[in-house]
Structure 1
Amino acid sequence: MNQCTAVALLPPPDHVVRLAAPGHLPEAGYVLCELGDDHEEDHASLLWDDDANREGIWVRWNGAGARLAGLAWCPAIDARSEDACGLFAGHPSAHDWDVLDPTLEAVAAVVDGWPPDTAAPRPDPLDGA
């Protein structure tokens, strides 16, 4: 399953702006949804690990706004690799090992073909191929 393509531009929190040095205000930043593209609930992106509380700090957003949430980790383990799911407990959609970032997949396809077959015709980069 492909990763959701939702993107949000989030302003820095007010308390961070108040702590900033004069003339050096923090900038807004983009977050990308990390869930599978078939989810129907809020979008979600991990901001940082909170090791002290054994959870992740996630930003959840929808058309009405965004909020930060400390969420426990999904307890699922991939039987093939023994890796833990990197999403939050109770997440909608598939576990992270079944969610493919289409951009990374496209890059991997190009890298897998490197070095290029020098006998093959070269595509014109201007025609979008």
Structure 2
Amino acid sequence: MNQCTAVALLPPPEHVLALSAPGGHRPEAGHVLCELGENHDTAHSAMLWDEGGRPGSAVWVRWDTERAQLLPLPWCTALDPRNADDACGLFAGHPSAHSWEVTDPTDQAITRDLARLHPHLFR
């Protein structure tokens, strides 16, 4: 399944702006790309950061056409049946496929091109 291609430009949260030093570099808006499989039926989602070590430590942005929310969400506990050491890289209860079933078509195209140009690196 291909990855969703939804992109959003998100401004930094107000509390982050309030913490920035006066006269210093202020955080800027940034783009996020949905990490879910295409044709999902809920809000788009991207993981922003993971503080690690405790449930709900990963902070995700979930957005639709109306608004965006930052949410601490626990990780999906499903394990890749091809390699039990690899867990799903999405949040618990995510819609669509698990992360190992979602492919980024842009990443695949770049990899194919690099393999064609530099076959010795892709044996």
TM over 0.5: yes
2:12 match: 12
Say whether residues 1:81 and 2:86 are aligned partners. Answer: no
One-letter amino acid of the structure 1 residue matched with residue 31 of structure 2: Y
Alignment RMSD (CA, Å):
1.3
Equivalent pairs counted in the alignment come to 116
Computing the radius of gyration from Cα coordinates, the structure with the larger value is 1
1:119 match: none
> Which residues of structure 1 form unaligned runs of 5+?
117-129
Per-residue deviation, residues 32-88 of structure 1 (Å, max 9, x unmatched): 000000201000000111324333110000011000111111110002122100000
Q: Residue 114 of structure 1: CA displacement?
A: 2.5
2:97 match: 94
Say whether residues 1:36 and 2:37 are aligned partners. Answer: yes
> Which residues of structure 2 form unaligned runs of 5+?
none
One-letter amino acid of the structure 1 residue matched with residue 38 of structure 2: D
Identity %: 58
1:49 match: 50
Q: Residue 21 of structure 1: CA displacement?
A: 1.9
SS in 1 for 2:87: coil
